[in-house]
Chains A and B, each alone.
Chain A
Amino acid sequence: MLRVLRVLLTIWAVKLSALAIRALGRPGTHTPGLIARKLHPGIIGAVRHPARVIAVTGTNGKTTVSNLLAEALEAEGLRVASNRSGSNIAAGVATALIGAVSWTGRPKADIAVIEMDERSAAIILPGLSPDLLVCMNLTRDSIKRNAHPAYVAWIISSALPVNTSLVLNADDLIASSLGSESNPRVYFAVDRLPTDGDRPSGAAVDIEICPVCDHTLSWEYWRFNHIGKAYCPACGFRSPEAAYRARDVDAASGRVTLELDGQSRQARLINDNIVNVYNEIAVAAVLDQLSVPKDRIVAAFELLSPPTTRFAAEVVGDVQLVRLLTKGLVGVACSRAFEYLTSFRGRKAVVLNIDEASERSTDVENTAWTYDADYEYLADDSIAQIVIGGARRHDQALRLAIAGVDPARIVTVESETAAADLIELDGVDEVFNLHSVHNALSTGTPVQRRLRARLEGSAERESGAESNSSSSAAS
């Protein structure tokens, strides 16, 4: 009885504090959860959950996948609880779960879609006890926080309830090894692409040897870093077979074929960046596991798009303005963003605000991760200019110079926002706004706004010659 009362008191404290914080005009997705975990450290497990709980984790793609899943499930008429607008560590998860129960502690949602920070697995997973866990991939991340991906995999596996079903990336030998034999599992993959190779290249490869016998792995297809389909010529070990596969990815027509557990369907490609092809097939796999009819899964993709803080493309005048999340600290994610950028055909100008140190006076972060990212993509001749903002801009410029980018194309400026003003628009077909996660809203959005305003100005004047540009301080 006392136990029930403690949970109820925690729920009330959280709901009241959330109301108070929202009255101040702030989102209140983190602090209420902090309060909850102070009052009741086990609140994630103690609060009643919706009938079904899905957790989404991995180094890259978890935000996009949980957003897409929540939207698709809402379109199915379900009441969805999620932390998609909040934080993905324990406090954010607690806030989302408490937000999904009434003042008396009864579930108000049918299903929870919880994005989970992979490093917080030990704190979140035992209490959350999800019916289904999706892991997109595990690649190297902030060296300071994450050590290395095999260690993160160990953290997740150690905390995983024995009955949780897994939806795992078959093309990632680290992510696909999660859990134990007791965990039911299905895999997703993206079939061989014309751009794939048959052996690893690129800066950072986290798995090169067979996990069973240590022999060097061979690859049916190798895509990037340690992502691909591998086999061991010595002991016969292979990447797992995927019941859910994306194939015939056609960027030109915007279509993809989805193999859904034995049945083929044509679907709209939500976005042609390879990371979003993985996101799409993962979402399809989860929806199928939740028994959403296959035709409705395909129909859902007609309407779904990656969140605009992750990717947005618009045409202003005759210039395409593309905003692209380029997760600093994660070499693999940066390499994919750079590669995707070079898949555009026109003459390009790029704002690069990905140094991960908003303020040199407070942020202790190193820039070694840039050498795990393939900046060589940015040496492409189609890129006329790269304007770098931020406290560690010189480290970025150094990395670009080492990657062989023509120094005449590199411009540096302290203010991330002012980078938008230094882009030369003349003769440019595409302008890219590359930002990281932490500065997506603080500078990614203002940069996008300024670029749009400048492009609209140029379009109106026909000749795009802008004589001077305002340089207000960074937000």
Chain B
Amino acid sequence: MAEQAGSRPLRLLHLFPTTLGLNGESGNVDILRRRAESRGVPVEVTRLEAGAVVPAGVDLVFIGSGPVSAQMQTQAAVLAVAEPLRALAASGVPFLAIGAGFQLLGQSITLADGTGLTGASVFPVTTIVAGERVVGDFVVESRLGMLAGFENRGSYVDIGSNAPIGHVVYGRGNVAASGPGAGASAAAIAASGATAEGTVLVAPDDRVEGFWVENLIGTHLHGPVLANNPALADWLLEAALVRRGQTLPLATPDLVEIDRRASEARATIMAAPLSE
């Protein structure tokens, strides 16, 4: 029988917030906290910086985005905690990893000059920094419905044969360095017919975004992603609670109001998505 949530705080681990905190990424952590606390689930956030150890009893892990310079600066610190992070992932602790942080938790990153960075291997993905930077609105069809946000990246993520978050409706997505969609650029996207006027068109090829296997989610959806897409925030909280034999209480009226505003914000993007 499911225990009532709230008996002990939900322990959220925020990895390297100083170096990987651009793009309003810490908003994701605030939103997770807000959506849990509104429902009476207390939250304890640990901001883990370089040199610190992974605390015990972590229920949910978040890592944000940053520039390549931050990636290089943080890589050694990420490797130092790679083993406990992999152990958390193996025990089913949900992870949300965005942009540069997602790449660092992968197996490797090949920088533009060919230098290789070893990752923490929490996610079985590899990244190649190459190709045109894509900057623009980003819409992905997921198992939770349409996710909408902002894409800003100059790299390809190869997820192998693993499952993505979903199909790209507007934007570029992972675009593996080899295989289907290789070498796609903003211009190619525009030429593909994904640019829509008034309504969203499903991109005609098989481009996909991110990584979502069991409780591990990695993506280049910014916005921050959980602001525009509260269903994803609730999915993460639920996954964290279920692991402890608890359930996520129903959304409170303030969250319902936030969800309504988020749906309007998503609709603005989906009505006429744009890229540079």
Q: Give chain A's interface residues, CB within 8 Å of chain B.
A: 140, 143-144, 147-148, 150-151, 203-205, 208-209, 214, 216, 331, 360-364, 366-372, 391-392, 394-395, 397-399, 401-402, 404, 407
Contacts and interface: CB of A to CB of B under 8 A. Distances in A.
A360 B245 CA distance: 45
B24 A392 contact: no
Given A395-B268, A401-B258, A148 B152 contact: no
Given A368-B23, A371-B30, A402 B268 contact: no
Given A148-B22, A392-B265, 5 more contacts: A364-B274, A366-B150, A368-B23, A371-B25, A395-B228
Nearest to B225: A368
A208 B18 contact: yes
Contacts of B135: 144, 364
Interface of B: 18, 21-27, 30-31, 34, 49-51, 66-67, 69-70, 135-137, 149-150, 152, 222-224, 227-228, 254, 257-258, 261-262, 264-265, 267-268, 272, 274-276
A394 B261 contact: yes
A91 B258 CA distance: 44
A398 B262 contact: yes
Contact of B67 (A151, A392, A398): A151
Contact of A368 (B136, B222, B276): B222
A401 B272 contact: no
Nearest to B261: A398
A395 B137 CA distance: 13
Contacts of B18: 205, 208-209
A368 B222 CA distance: 7
A407 B227 contact: no
Q: Counting chain B CB atoms within 10 Å of each CB, which of A363, A395, A404 scores highest?
A: A395
Given A147-B67, A216-B49, A402-B30, A368 B24 contact: yes
B268 A392 contact: yes
A140 B22 contact: yes
Contacts of B69: 148, 150-151
Nearest to A365: B150
Given A366-B150, A402-B34, A394 B50 contact: no
Contacts of B150: 366-368
A394 B268 contact: yes
B34 A366 contact: no
A398 B22 contact: no
Contacts of B276: 364
B275 A371 contact: no
B271 to A, nearest CB: 8
A401 B22 contact: no
B114 to A, nearest CB: 22
Interface of B is mostly: mixed
B24 A398 contact: no
10 contacts: A148-B69, A214-B51, A366-B222, A367-B223, A368-B23, A368-B222, A368-B224, A371-B227, A395-B265, A407-B254
B150 to A, nearest CB: 4
A138 B265 CA distance: 30
B261 A401 contact: yes
B49 A360 contact: no
Contacts of B261: 394, 397-398, 401
A394 B227 CA distance: 12
B251 to A, nearest CB: 13
A167 to B, nearest CB: 27
A31 B267 CA distance: 38
Contact of A402 (B21, B67, B258, B274): B258
Contact of B258 (A203, A371, A372, A398): A398
B24 A370 contact: yes
Given A205-B18, A364-B275, A371 B50 contact: no
Contacts of A392: 265, 268
B146 to A, nearest CB: 15
Nearest to B70: A148
Contacts of A144: 135, 152
User: Which residue of B24, B51, B137 has the most chain A CB atoms within 10 A of its CB atom?
Assistant: B24
A465 B88 CA distance: 61
B264 A397 contact: yes
A144 B254 CA distance: 32
B257 A371 contact: no
Contact of A143 (B31, B149, B152, B264): B152
Contact of B272 (A360, A370, A397): A360
A204 B30 CA distance: 12
B163 to A, nearest CB: 26
A398 B21 contact: no
Given A205-B18, A395-B268, A399-B227, A148 B67 contact: yes
B265 A398 contact: yes
B30 A360 contact: no
B26 A398 contact: no
A42 B261 CA distance: 50
A145 to B, nearest CB: 10
A394 B21 CA distance: 24
A371 B268 contact: no
Contacts of A367: 150, 223, 265
Contacts of B268: 360, 391-392, 394-395
A335 B228 CA distance: 21
Contact of A366 (B26, B70, B223, B254): B223
A361 B137 CA distance: 12
Nearest to B47: A208
Contacts of B262: 398
B70 to A, nearest CB: 7
10 nearest A-B pairs in the assembled complex, by CB-CB distance: A371-B27, A371-B24, A366-B150, A368-B24, A394-B264, A398-B261, A394-B265, A407-B257, A401-B258, A395-B265
